[in-house]
Every structure is written in structure tokens, then in C-alpha cells.
Structure 1
Amino acid sequence: MKKPIYVALLSFVVLSCKTKEVEIMEITFENRYKFTNEIEKSVLGENPDYQDSSVDYSYVVNHEKALEHWDLAMNAQPKEHKQKQLDSVRNLYKVNDAKDYILSQADHEKIIIINEMHCNATHRIFTEELLKDLYAKGYKNLCVEALYNDGSDTLLNALRYSKYEFGTYLWNPQFSNMIREALKIGFKIHAYETKGDIGGEVREIDQANNMAKIIKENPDEKFLIHCGSGHALEGYIKFFGGAALAGRLHQLTGIDPFTIDQVFYSEKSKRENSNIFSQAFNFENYSILLDKNSKPFGYKKGEERMDLVVFHPMTTYNNKRPNWVFERGNKDVEINMNKINLEFPVMVLAFNSNEDLHEAIPIDITEVEKRDAGCHLGLPKGNYNIVVTNKSESILFKKDVL
């Protein structure tokens, strides 16, 4: 580590009008995240993989670009619904709070399975919002598909925070923040993913067997499973050559899981690309739909089904950051980049001061294209190590959020 550089930085002091001398250290730092120009370069040429690039954007909390690239991957098109169609949907259903409904059902369930789209951080945020109340209802086990099944769960439960080596999807700060919150509440984290590069039917069988073993070892406890998209489907799934994880787990344990979808009616990059329900109701909160008989709207396509669909509100943006970065008790922490003596663009990463910044997943991360572009981090109260890096050079300074 090089000698510290002392600079009087008024703008690094949050909610204060006094100049404070901040110690800025030049450090050696391996930045594992991709800059925008690197991600965009990866999709040049024939057959671009927009699914991969959408996930890369999610890692750096560029939600707008993550959705945009996912829509490119799925060839999403505008959906033009006539007013008569929108009115018909409004007459058929009423909007209810998703969290309230799920918690009302949780008392009667033993296994809840909720899915996610791997490029959409809001799906992790909603699962996180359920954790505290589900724990109070006896759900003590959080089972995470994204966690490598190589002993990483044992290390994670002991360490209390995610490391890069525990699973690639955990690189998204919202995912690792969900894990941190679960551990803080008291959940035990379990890995159940198949070992090795296996897909299709074999993977579903292996995942179900691994989950069934965990349940058998904890017969009196309840389980929340957070998985990727199609693994939460019940019924015959052509893509998997039979039942997916949810269906096979039912077969193995005799327990019918409560399956929750966040994916198939998920947010699009443009409102006009959204499903008819999102266009009809313009959801302001995490919501579900109940028909006139109070039956919840679930996912159904052919033989595929899920018990409940959760609709998310459209993301809005504040200072080029998604609104949800600054919610749930997080403060909008502005970092003035004018005194940063590095070549731009740079990434700004915020790490808990009690976590190893060379191994831990940051609490928040953002890319700053130009020196005068502004930098805003969403951080809860606490003490942080802030790293600013352009991959060639990196600096570190401390920040207290009060």
C-alpha cells in the first residue's frame, strides 16, 4: 500500500458544512466488474449474447441497461392494448399488497419457492422484504440456487457476508445484501445446486434430491427457496423433460410448495413493452391480483403453473440511479468526484468497514463516466471503505454514514 494522500475535501462530508481532512490511500485493487465500454464491446458482432450482458449490467447496478439488454435478448416488442381490453382487466381483478398476502398464506405452508430473473435486482429486494416476517413465522432456512454447492454455504454462515468465490450471481450487491440481511435476522443459508456443469432434467433431479435431503435433516422447520426463473414451475415442463425443481420436490417430500413468480410478468425496459396487467394497473407497490372470488392470479401456460404472480412497480431513476437503491432506510450519499485524481471513467464501490474489501461483495457500486457527472450511493447507516478505481489505478477513503 502506498503512502496516504491528505486532501481537504468539503464534499466528502455528508450533512456537514465543515471542511474535514480525509485520508485518501492509493491501493492495489482487483476490480472484477466490467465497465460499460467492456460490456458493450462484448455484444458487438454476430450473435451477441444479450442475456450475459444484461447480467453484467445488473452486477454494477445499472438496472436500466440490464432491462434494455434483456429485452434485446427476448426480442421484446411493444404491446398495444385497446382501452376496452384494459378496462376488462380492471373489472376482473382488484389489486392487493403482495407482502401481506404472502404472509397470510405462510402460516399454512412449509415450503415457499420464489423465483428471480438473474438480471433483475428488484427480485432479490422483494425476497429480502419478506425475510423478517417469514422468520417470525418459523421460516429459519433460506435455500439459494445461486450459491455454489461446494461448502460455500458453511463458509458463508460462518463469515456472515458473501465473497466473489461463493457464486457469480451473488456479485450483484442487492443479492448479497439480501444474504446479509438473512444472516442478520438469524436464517441459516443452504446451497442445493447440482455439482458440475449439468443442465436439463438431470439438474432438476439433482437439485430436488439435494433440497429433499436438507428438509429431511430439519423435519420440523420451514423453508424459503430463492431460485432462478423456471425452477419454481409446477407441472410438466417441456424444457426440463419433466418436472422442474418445485414439482420434483413435491414428489420426493409429499409437500406441495407455495410457488411465487416474479419473472413471467416482470418489468420491461419500456412501459409499452410491459404486460397488460402492468399497463392496466400501473402498480405503485409490490402487488398481486385477486379475482371477484378472492382467488389470486397465478401463472399458467399449458401444463406449467405457479400459485401466485407478484407484480413489481416500474423503476424510476434519480441521479441516474434506480429509486430502490435509496429506499428501505438507505441514504442518498453523494460523492463529489472533482478531487479524484484518476482517469475516468471510474467505478465507485462501497464496502462495509468490517468486511475484506478484496473479497467481499460491495454494498453498492456505480460507474461514473465523467468527473462532473455526479456520484450517488445508496447506503444504510454505518462505516464504509470507499474504493474508486479505473482498473489501472485505485484509491481508498473512509466514509461514515450517520
Structure 2
Amino acid sequence: MFRLTASLCFLFLLSLQSCSKYEPVTFASPYSSSEAIRQEVASDTGNIFRFEPAAKQYAFIGQEELAIAMWDSSRSALKRAYGWEDLDTFSTDQVMRDFPNTIPAKKVILEQSASHRFTILNEAHHNSQHRAFTHSLLEDLYDQGYRHLGAEALIVNEPAGFIDDPQQISTESGTYVQDPEFAEMLKHAVELGYKLFEYEANDTIYGADRERVQAENILRYAERFPNDKLVIHSGFGHLIESETNKYTEWPQMGRQLHLLGGVDPLTVDQERYHPASSPAFEQALYRSVRPQEAVILTNGAGEAFGTNGADLSVFHPPVGLTSPLNKFRIDRSIALDFPVLVHAFRDTDDLSVAIPFAVAEATSHEFSMSTALDKSSVIILQQADGISIRLMRSGYQALN
């Protein structure tokens, strides 16, 4: 009897010790696990456009390589269905001869942005790397007089027509803004002193009208602040300045700024030269450059390479080179139903609407994040069965 009682007491103490490392919480994650995303794609075989939203969802949980692979699946589907393929037709060798130097992209951009009032960078909506790069430029651009950041993906519900408080950035700020990299870019901008504004046309406007309305909204906002410079973070080809383009029969937003406002923005294309899931999906020029950091091609005359209707083309390195991973281990005494989504919040966040500063997926008690955690981090785990817990600081440890 004594031995049984002692054993029960021991188990009770173990249970108390384990519980001190976490607590149950009511929390509904806006994100999906990799397996749930994969199953959704597999169940929707009749829709050739199913890969694009899946790629976005992978990016949101930090699965960048899966996001890129899913995007490439979309390109394969479009090629099979419509014969669509977007590969360079110019001579790679000629470009390498004309622009033999690889210079850090930030250096080239900042040299040119100083003399412009508008600087536009684009993104592929499944690629968090593009958001992180724009993020990295904001402080230097602020020093050059840039005071406003407009984002195609942003929804602003403030009476002033702009956001100037990081707490105003929430899960209601736009679908793509739910990518932690996007939200962190916006929050950092506000902390530096930027005002954030939206410029997207409403969802009933398409095609040529959409490009025109985007430009009109940007110009109308700029008129409110005639002495300030503006950064624009657009999607895909909207920044194209050329009169014609291979994607549409109408001028894009970048060209509309010329036509409607006489504006000549500095345009920086990020989405053409970046890593793919296999060489078959990469531009031949990208394979020739093989960047180890974000670079732009230049020549001895100080000229920089730009294509795809933009002034400058950024060549991004393979995923992982720019964001070393921080590794963590959840205490093994905590029983979990894997896979688990790990959400990292700040202790000032309202968990009902806040966007985490990092999200990762754990298939075991160990997980990795590109962002470090500290004592003020609030860690929420959502398990495969939907049950969520808050992990206390004693419930995990850093491995590096």
C-alpha cells in the first residue's frame, strides 16, 4: 500500500511539474499545417489554380522551400493547360558581358533611390524573402527622406487614411499581411516613423481599370504630403513602367504613374530572379549568376541591369542563406499531438487579433525559427487535434 501511494504521489508530482511548463489557452490559428495544405491541394484536382493559395499558406508557416515548390507546380499546370511559360528570350552570355559585376543590391538601390520621390519594389505573393528584403531597406530609405509606405496587400481601416501605430496592424489588415515577415516589415516601418497607406483598387475593379485606380490612389495620397517621399511595395508586374508588356494589353500601375502624374519612380523587380525548386524553373541568367546574397548586375560605367519592365533586377540567393535558423526544443515531458504550429507573439500582443512575429511547424519536440525568442516572447502551440497551449519559458530551451 505504501509503495502504491508513493508511486501515485510521484506521478502526481510529475504531472504538476509538467503542467508548470504550459497552460491551456483558447486560440484559433489562422494558419494550416503542411499536411492540411497538401490534403487540400490533393482534393481539388479540377482546379489548376489551386497551387497558388497553397504556396502562400506554406510561406506563412515558414515553409519557404515548400512554398517555392508549390508555386512551381502552378507554373507547370499553366504550361500544360495553356502553353504559358515565362522565360527570358535574350542572350544570357550577352548580359553577363555587358554587366559583369555583382554588387550588393542594397548598395545599388540606395544609390539610386536618393534621387527619386517614389521607389517601388515588388514581390511574389508566395515569397517571404521579398518582404524581408524590402524590410531591410526601410531604415536607410527613411534616412533619405522616405516617410510613407504603401502596400498593395494592406487594408487600412483608420479614419486618418493611414496607420501610424504598430498595434493597428492585425489579422484584419489583409490576407498577405498575415505572413509574419510582411507584418514585421510593416510594424518596423511604423516604428521608424513611416505612415502606412493602402492603394489597391476594390475587388470589383479588374484589368486596365485596376492599374489606373492603383496609380490614382497613390498619387492622391502623395498630394497630401507634397514634401515627402514614398515607398511602394507591390505585387508581381504592377510596377512595370514600359509602355507595353508581355503580360497584359494595358499599361501597369508603374506606367500609369508616368501617364497620370508625370512620375518616374525607381522600380525594383524582385520576383524574376530568385531560386526555384529545380533548375528547370529558374531563369538561365539566374543560374549563371548564382548569388550568395541579394545582388544586382552592373558594369564599369555605373549602369545597372534591369528587365521585366523595371529599372533594377534583384537576384536573390537560395532560401536559408539570408536567414540562419534558431533551433529550439520543447520539453519532452509535454505530450503533444504532432504536427504542431508554433506561434511566437510579443507579450504586448492581443492574441485574438495580433499577427505573430514568427510561425514554425514542428513535427517533433524540436523546431526552428528564423527569429530568436526571448523572455518576453509568448509561445502558443496549436496541435493537430486543434487544442492549443501556451508554452512557458521553462517548457522549451534554445539549442544554439
Question: TM-score normalized by structure 2?
Answer: 0.84
Q: Distance between the aligned counterparts of 1:108 and 1:324, measured in 2? A: 28
Q: Distance between the aligned counterparts of 1:190 and 1:6, measured in 2? A: 50
CA distance 1:86–1:111, shift in 2 (3 Å): closer
Alignment gaps of 5+ in structure 2: 1-13, 80-84
Which region of structure 1 is more displaced relative to structure 2, 151-160 or 260-269?
A: 151-160
Selected match of 2:347 from 332, 340, 353: 353
Q: Does the 8 Å contact 1:161/1:180 carry over to 2?
A: no
Q: Does the 8 Å contact 2:123/2:233 carry over to 1?
A: yes
CA distance 1:284–1:360, shift in 2 (3 Å): same
CA distance 1:80–1:7, shift in 2 (3 Å): farther
Asked if 1:116 corresponds to 2:117, the answer is no
Q: Distance between the aligned counterparts of 2:244 and 2:156, measured in 1? A: 26
Shift of 1:154: 5.2
1:216-231, aligned counterparts within 5 Å? 216-231=223-238
Question: Tell me, what secondary structure is at the counterpart of 2:172?
Answer: helix
1:23-38, aligned counterparts within 5 Å? 23-38=21-36
Q: Distance between the aligned counterparts of 1:56 and 1:337, measured in 2? A: 28
Which residue matches 2:378? 385
Which residue matches 2:9? none
Q: Letter of the aligned partner of 2:382 in structure 1?
A: T
Q: Distance between the aligned counterparts of 1:223 and 1:212, measured in 2? A: 10
Q: Does the 8 Å contact 2:166/2:191 carry over to 1?
A: no
Q: Does the 8 Å contact 1:22/1:397 carry over to 2?
A: no
Shift of 1:269: 1.6
The total of aligned residue pairs comes to: 368
Shift of 1:360: 0.9
Question: Tell me, what secondary structure is at the counterpart of 1:289?
Answer: strand
Superimposed CA distance per residue, residues 328-381 of structure 1 (whole angstroms, 9 cap, x where no aligned partner) = xxxx25132523323111111111111112211111111112x35x21223346
Q: Letter of the aligned partner of 1:388 in structure 2?
A: L
Asked if 1:146 corresponds to 2:149, the answer is no
Q: Letter of the aligned partner of 1:253 in structure 2?
A: G
Q: Does the 8 Å contact 2:346/2:357 carry over to 1?
A: yes
Shift of 1:200: 1.0
Shift of 1:276: 2.1
Q: Distance between the aligned counterparts of 2:314 and 2:94, measured in 1? A: 20
Selected match of 2:110 from 103, 126, 142: 103
Superimposed CA distance per residue, residues 161-203 of structure 1 (whole angstroms, 9 cap, x where no aligned partner) = 5211110001111111111111111111111111233221111
Which residue matches 2:47? 47
1:179-198, aligned counterparts within 5 Å? 179-198=186-205
Q: Distance between the aligned counterparts of 1:217 and 1:37, measured in 2? A: 47
Question: Tell me, what secondary structure is at the counterpart of 1:339?
Answer: coil
CA distance 1:95–1:344, shift in 2 (3 Å): same
Question: Tell me, what secondary structure is at the counterpart of 1:210?
Answer: helix
Q: Letter of the aligned partner of 1:375 in structure 2?
A: F
Asked if 1:257 corresponds to 2:265, the answer is yes
Q: Does the 8 Å contact 2:274/2:286 carry over to 1?
A: no
Asked if 1:397 corresponds to 2:391, the answer is yes
Identity between Structure 1 and Structure 2 (%): 29
Which residue matches 1:13? none
Q: Distance between the aligned counterparts of 1:22 and 1:98, measured in 2? A: 48
Shift of 1:277: 2.5
Q: Distance between the aligned counterparts of 1:148 and 1:176, measured in 2? A: 12
Q: Distance between the aligned counterparts of 2:15 and 2:131, measured in 1? A: 39
Q: Does the 8 Å contact 1:233/1:306 carry over to 2?
A: yes
Question: TM-score normalized by structure 1?
Answer: 0.83
Which residue matches 2:72? 71
CA distance 1:22–1:379, shift in 2 (3 Å): farther
Superimposed CA distance per residue, residues 305-343 of structure 1 (whole angstroms, 9 cap, x where no aligned partner) = 111101101113xxxxxx54437xxxx251325233231
Which residue matches 1:16? none
CA distance 1:79–1:185, shift in 2 (3 Å): closer
Shift of 1:148: 1.8
Q: Distance between the aligned counterparts of 1:276 and 1:152, measured in 2? A: 48
Which residue matches 1:311? 315
Selected match of 2:368 from 376, 385, 392: 376
Superimposed CA distance per residue, residues 221-278 of structure 1 (whole angstroms, 9 cap, x where no aligned partner) = 1000000011101123464542111111122221211111001223212245322222
Asked if 1:275 corresponds to 2:269, the answer is no
Q: Distance between the aligned counterparts of 2:157 and 2:195, measured in 1? A: 16
1:319-334, aligned counterparts within 5 Å? 323-326=321-324, 332-334=326-328
CA RMSD of aligned residues (A): 2.9
CA distance 1:152–1:201, shift in 2 (3 Å): farther
